Chain A
Amino acid sequence: MSLRLRLLLLIGISLSLLWGAVAIWMLRSLDDEVHQTLDQRLAMSAQMVAGLMSQNPAAWDGRSHTQDKSALSMPSMAKGFDCQITSLRGDVIMRTPGATVDAVAMRKPGYSERVIKGERWRSYTFETDSLRVTTADRLAERDLLLQNVAIAAVVPFVVAMIGSLIVLWLGVKSGLLPLERLRQALARRTPETMTPIPERAMSRDLMPLVSTLNALLQRVHVTIHRERRFTSDAAHELRTPLTAIKTHLQVTRITQGKDAALALDYAEEGVARLQRTLDQLLTLSQIEGPFSWDDGKLADAEEVARLAIRDASASSNAPARIVFKRAGKSASLAVPQALAITALRNLLDNALRHTSAEQDIVLEMQLAGNTCVFRVLDQGGGLSAEELAMVKQRFWRRGSGQGSGLGLSIVAAIAERFGGAIELKPRPEGGLEASLALPIKN
């Protein structure tokens, strides 16, 4: 449902209900008031007639014996309003002409109602020492009066109601105009448009919305840019070994003997490289994705360190030259064992790759608060300030190094996912110190 329709319905219906209820209330109290007033008038009329009659009893005294038919006629009062005066015995003394006899027939004093020929009549009987005066009026007359009053009151009310609904519709329409302009401005944009929506043309009420929208656009823009760059980089990284494989395979077709065998070896090396890059890309996307790594095993920090050293030594051509130093106790890591090993091993691989074969690499392990800190210290060339700034970028590698350029990205992703931290800094004595802090289980 459109905002305009919803506003219109909400305000329109509540307005109608509210004023409708007020109108019903008003008519109800009007009804009561009119009936009460007319009843009072009925009573007052009877009392007045009785008062007048008693001032001159001689005028009617002698007539008390007269027959009903010849009763004195009183001047006609109003249609549907009759009056009859009788003696206490029941002899009719006076009666309004054309009166409905039953309506004013003798009753007990006070108000009473009866239905005569399908019409309801209300009567009032007043008794003095010698007289009984009954006045009666037809209720239909009262209803007519009420109806007239109601029409006089309700028609302007309904007109005002319709008028205010029209004003409401126009008001809502013009009030929502800035929103409509914003909608049009957004509808005109292509998915690629990432420029912010101009804020000055917008109404002040919409400013927070527009600012939020612009902030969102900015974030989306940055994300898309990063993702595009990552995709492009990934494509580049995968194409490079693929190119090597393809080229070498084509060389095997046009060469023979030693050259062909060499080309096949190279092609195989390309396949291995492609596989490495793919594995690392998959690992990275799994770490960043919703994949659950929890295998229920407790990852003991020291065991993680030993396994990482074993893996790193096995893959590098150099003989084991990693020195492990543990300060204090070991603890259980709050990181799945496989990932803790992967992270630590990537740091060791980097250190091995960038130091010469004679130099030792030191792995220190120490508990600090709620974390276990692993420090990988090497004596290699280290990194310059600019290189340190770029080192965690995906696919960045130093020179034309052999790595996939994803190792540190994976370490950083693992640290980020499990609330750890990775820090690289040059050592004063040369080389690099990579410290990885992983949270421990309480």
Chain B
Amino acid sequence: MAELTIRQAIQRGLEEALQNDPNVFIMGEDIGKYGGAYAVTSGFLEKYGPKRIKDTPISEATFIGAGVGAAAAGLRPVIEIMSISFSLVAFDQIVNMAANLRYMSGGQIKVPMVIRAPTGAGAQLAATHSQSFETWLAEVPGIKCVAPSTPADALGLLRSALSDGNTVIFAEPAQMYGVKGDVPDGRFTVPIGKASVQRSGGDVTLVSYGHGMRVLHSAAEDLAKRGIEAEVVDLRSLSPLDMDTIVASVHKTNRALTLDMARRTGGIMAEVAARLQEAASDWLDGPVARVGAEDVPWPYNRELEQEALPRVEDVLASLKKSYGI
């Protein structure tokens, strides 16, 4: 067991892959001498050389499109997008191509690629630099989508992503690279498509992922002071979605709240809430409580941005409204 940050855990996963799999290479903007916008690939160029650590021009559509081509041709590219907000100019290559090629070719073409991208608001980067498009990408069949909130999950999920036969979107909560946690020794993996119960409790199920987990844990502490034991569930995988874990928790608690740090409308947690209504309405003591970011473009002003983001008090108020607790 070692204590690592999420950044260090991702670095460890990438370095293992670079050392053990000659087909792995990393491509993206400023990942070489600069070390990546969030310093994840710091020192990689010196260690692994320019053949495998490729700085690219500012051409997201092309370095992701080239990743699709290289993956189909037998390599395993790891693409770093500087912000998931910038993925939009490459959405065609991700959504129409990486996700569809296998199906459209009747199983002939595989695109085993990992697309890493920092995601989320909270750093005053404004509307075009604070998006959470993993929540859009989770809807697309043919690709998988994960978002770790702990160092152990970051490493375990990255290992799984790097041995998956499909394109995996690896959304890294941008404000959580420095979060520390224990990481087991040895080559453990975290399966894609399996949620994690991070805190056990019998009174209410709280579900989110990524940045949302910090809010949920704070809310659970507040609830505990009032004698309410919350079960805190981290999706970890947005696609495939593990409803079994969430439904099992609701069977125990009869109450559920979903929290989305992305905009409330149309996000992945809206899907979780809808599926809970389908699968567990008989078990719920009231409507699924839903909390999400305001449906506005991300403002630059710090106070406005914080106002748009969900907070602990929003979670508590929503529980009060749905369940009177």
Report whether chain A binds chain B. Answer: no
B residues lining the A interface (CB < 8 Å): none
A residues lining the B interface (CB < 8 Å): none
